[in-house]
Amino acid sequence: MGKKLVVIGGVAAGTKAAAKAKREHPDWEVTVLEKGKDISYAGCGLPYYIGDVIKERKEVVVKTPAELKAWLGIDVLTEHEALKVDTAAKEVTVLDKKTGQTKIFPYDKLIFATGAEPFVPPVPGIDLPQVYTVREVADADAIRERLDKGLVRRAVVVGGGFIGLEVAENLVLRGVQTTLVELLDQVLPGFDPELAILVQKHLEEHGLTVITGDKITSFVADESGNLKAAITPTREIPCDLAVWATGVRPNTRLAAEAGVELGPTKAIKVNEYMETNIPDVYAVGDCAENVQLITGKPAWIPMGSTANKMGRVAALNLDGGADKDALRGVVGTTVVKLFDIKAGKTGLSESMARKEGYDVESVLVPAHDRAHYYPGSHLILVKLIADKASHRVLGGQVVGEGVIDKPIDVLATAITLGAKVEDLAKLDLAYAPPFSTAMPPVVTAANVLLNKLTGRLNGIKPQELKARLDAGEGDLEIVDVRKDEEVLLGKIPGAKHIVLDEIEARADEIDRNKEVVLVCKVGLRGYLAALKLKAKGFPRVTVLEGGMTAWPYATE
Amino acid sequence: MAEKYVNARGLQCPGPIVQLFQAAKEAQAGDILVVEATDGGFKKDVVAWCKKTGNELLSLEDDAGVLRARIKKA
């Protein structure tokens, strides 16, 4: 007789672990307990279901219990909530929500896959019926129904992370006047501000109102008890629907009560084999902790992509054999599409890297995603972050309307394998005009970063230049070297205009005692101008990184 | 009133805008300029250019990666 495996939680990691375990051990009895009505659903697809990009509920529900039983021989019990785990007696007490009965499930091996749940603070009015979170299919069903009935004219989305932004995008696409409120000074926490602000501008151009650095303190209702407005310390935002999306927390109560150890991130502590501190008890998916591969420190990065891998690893290690499978950690790769813009990141952001104590060098480089003459070519903006001393690549971020997931995946792979900037610059990547450029974005960015690391190039980021201009610093001479026709479309206020072709002849118009900041469209002509001025003995020349492409502020 | 075709396909920014600038200089008021470009940056540039110069952007379409702008010279 085979062993009994009980899996608590049946969304991504739980169903993956159960399926793999049954394939490995056909004689085992595998039971999945899910407290909700749906299993194996695509939680990440819910914003698009709200937006009617996904038309029907069945498209986001990947598998049903009947299918899992017929295909894989797994018993999936929905509306079965695990109430208590006794790790000494090795049994789980379960409430059958349909009958109200309590049942006992004995196990030989137990896997926690209890997921995460939205963080909902006790804000007054948050329990109004028109204030939602988006985690389960039922949440999306309810929001869709309101939209379909024409009950939503104005909406507020709280939280500028992936889910909040994706929900906001889909509400705008459904014609709802939508305001997004984010506590931090930027959307996309985790991204560096140079890239996040470009995404924010794009959202605003597509009709989303974005408020950063503000906080919802309450929701208020009209006399019939329906949501009327969201309130912040500085404003009142009228709305008839609100979505609270300020992040999720690991669901660990059941495990903690059973004596399972939590890590410093408050998620369940597991080793690389997904084993907890208690024998025969494993944890996978959003309820469990990971290791950030670059720092080697515990991290909680709940992603569907990681959850599936963890489920598989746990399943392979259940029999305790010598050839265990392991997940050493994750680099933290994410990607999002909002209207026409896409943003991806992998590894550490510059601010995270500094917080971790790295001496960081970074660069912003716009590059074409495919040959500039091939229809559909776009400039994308690449940020590359490396350790100054070792040149090890620490992170990368890419934003743009073109292909950005390819450079992100190349960077994720390189970072996982411990690449240096020099390695990136020499990668042999796929090239033909419809796909990429002869010097692909990652290679170009690596070369520009090497120019910085070796002192060939001095760069300044748009945010730093703006701050210094705002501070009224008089030691700056900004020179725009683009053509007349480009400058007509807008230049940095106060910038001198000397086209690159004339920079040497007109060098005496530039104050050589000041720090000269050279500006062009992407940075290349600025670099060329910098070399020419250096050759003429200018002591301090700097190039605006990313050029006007990455300049998000006002122009004249 | 004439319609003039400007082929700015294959040009990197600022090529398309420079071409448009030249064509607009030579055109008469009321003439229609049809500009085709393959550089994605042209989308924003042409909108900004029309705003700045007062020429009228009649339409801007993305035909499988070929951006086609129809502009009426003011």
Phi, psi of A98 (to 5 degrees): -75, -40
Residue of B nearest to A483 (CA): B14
* Confidence band for A40, pLDDT divided at 50, 70 and 90: low
Which run of H or of E encompasses A365?
strand A360-368
Round to whole Å and give the CA distance between B56 and A180.
33
Give the residue numbers spanning the domain of B53: 3-72
**3-state DSSP helix/strand/coil percent for chain B, to nearest 5?**
30, 40, 30
Tell me the nearest-neighbour CA distance from B2 into chain A, angstroms: 24
Does B54 contact chain A (CB < 8 Å)?
A: no
Q: pLDDT category, A8, cuts 50, 70, 90?
A: very high
Note the pLDDT tens digit of each residue in A460-515: 999 999 999 999 988 999 999 999 988 988 999 999 999 999 999 999 999 999 99
Q: How far apart are alpha carbons A145 and A165 in whole angstroms?
A: 20
Q: Do B40 and A483 count as a contact with CB atoms less than 8 A apart?
A: no
Q: What is the mean pLDDT of residues A329-354?
A: 97
Answer whether A374 sits within 8 Å of B38, measured CB to CB. yes
Residue A237: strand pairing partners: A230
For residue A485, the chain B residues in CB contact (below 8 A) are 14, 17-18, 21
In chain B, residues with a C-beta closer than 8 Å to the C-beta of A378 are: 40-41
Contact of B18 with chain A, judged by CB distance below 8 Å, is answered with yes
Kindly state whether B13 is in contact with chain A, defined as any CB-CB distance less than 8 angstroms. yes
List B4, B9, B11, B13, catalytic entry: B13
CATH number of the CATH domain containing B17: 3.30.110.40
The count of structural domains within chain B is 1
Mutation choice for B interface testing from A439, A480, A486, A501 by most B CBs within 10 A: A486
3-state SS assignment for residue A131: strand
Q: What are A434's two structure tokens? A: 């419809």
Judge: A521–B65 Cβ closer than 8 Å, yes or no.
no
Average pLDDT estimate for A449-470? 96
Cα Dmax for chain A: 90
* Interchain pair B41, A488: CB under 8 A: no
Instruction: Give the pLDDT mean for A113-117.
Output: 95
In the block, residue with structure tokens 């090890």: A392
Task: Specify whether the CB–CB gap between A399 and A342 falls below 8 A.
Answer: yes
Q: What is the largest CA-CA distance in chain B?
A: 31
Would you call A372 and B9 a contact, using CB atoms and an 8 Å cutoff? no
Q: Which residue type occupies A387?
A: D
Q: In sequence order, what E strands does A114-271 have?
A: 116-118, 131-132, 154-158, 177-182, 209-212, 218-221, 227-231, 236-238, 241-244, 248-250
Q: How far is the C-alpha of B3 from the C-alpha of B6, rounded, in Å?
A: 10
pLDDT above 80: residue A63: no
Contact A489/B at CB under 8 A: yes
Tens-place pLDDT, residues A233-242: 999 999 999 9
A325 interface with B at CB cutoff 8 Å: no
CA distances from B41 to A271, A339, A543, B48 (A): 48, 16, 21, 11
Looking at the partner chain, which of A373, A486, A489 has a beta carbon nearest the beta carbon of B9? A373
Strands A4-8 and A29-33: parallel
Q: Of chain A residues 371-430, which have a CB less than 8 A from chain B?
A: 372-379, 401-402
What tokens does A298 get?
């515990």
Kindly list the catalytic residues of A.
Answer: 44
**Beta strands of A135-194 (E only): which ranges?**
154-158, 177-182
The ipTM is 0.84
Helix (H, G, I), strand (E, B) or coil at A460: strand
pLDDT band at A258 (very low <50, low <70, confident <90, very high): very high
CA-nearest of A200, A125, A118 to A160 is: A200
- Residues 156-175 of chain A with CB under 8 A from chain B are none
Average pLDDT, chain A: 95
pLDDT confidence of residue B14: 79
Share of chain A above pLDDT 90, in %: 90
Q: Quick one: which of A40, A1, A29, A38 has its CA closest to A311?
A: A40
Chain A contact set for B66 (CB, 8 A): 375
CA distances A319 to A25, A111, A373, Å, are 9, 13, 57
Query: What is the token pair recorded at A439?
Result: 């010097």
Taking an 8 Å cut-off on Cβ atoms, the answer to whether B40 and A376 are in contact is yes
Closest CA to B22 of B30, A541, B12, B14: B14
Q: Over the range A495-515, which residues count as b (16 or more CB within 10 Å of their CB) and which as e? A: bbbbbbeebeeebeebeeebb
In chain A, what residues touch B49 (CB-CB under 8 Å)? 488-489
CB within 8 Å of chain B, chain A residues 498-527: 521
- pLDDT, position A86: 98
Q: What DSSP state is assigned to residue A502?
A: G
Section A351-368 average pLDDT: 97
Calculate how close chain A gets to B53, using CA atoms only, in Å: 9
Lowest-pLDDT range of A285-289, A351-355, A368-372: A368-372
- The CA–CA distances, whole Å, from A397 to A88, A342, A364 equal 47, 11, 9
A-chain CB neighbours of B38 within 8 Å are: 372-377
User: Are β-strands B32-37 and B66-72 bridged in parallel, bridged antiparallel, or unpaired?
Assistant: antiparallel
Q: Give residue A322's pLDDT.
A: 75
Min Cα–Cα distance to chain B from A24, Å: 47
Instruction: Sort out which chain A residues have CB atoms less than 8 A from B11's CB and list them.
Output: 372-373
Within 10 angstroms of residue B35's Cβ, the number of other Cβ atoms is 24
Predicted local distance difference test score (pLDDT) of residue A59: 82
For chain B, residues with pLDDT lower than 50 are none
Residues on chain A touching B45 (C-beta within 8 angstroms):
489
User: Read out DSSP for B27-49?
Assistant: SPTT-EEEEEE-BTTHHHHHHHH
Measure the CA–CA gap between A371 and B12, rounded to whole angstroms.
Answer: 10
pLDDT tens-digit series, residues A382-435: 999 999 999 999 999 999 999 999 999 999 999 999 999 999 999 999 999 999
Average pLDDT of span A32-36: 94
Please indicate whether, in this complex, the C-beta atoms of A485 and B13 are within 8 angstroms of each other. Answer: no
Over residues A314-331, mean pLDDT: 91
**CA–CA separation, A277 vs A256, rounded Å?**
11
Q: What pLDDT is attached to residue A16?
A: 94
Chain A CA closest to residue B38: A375
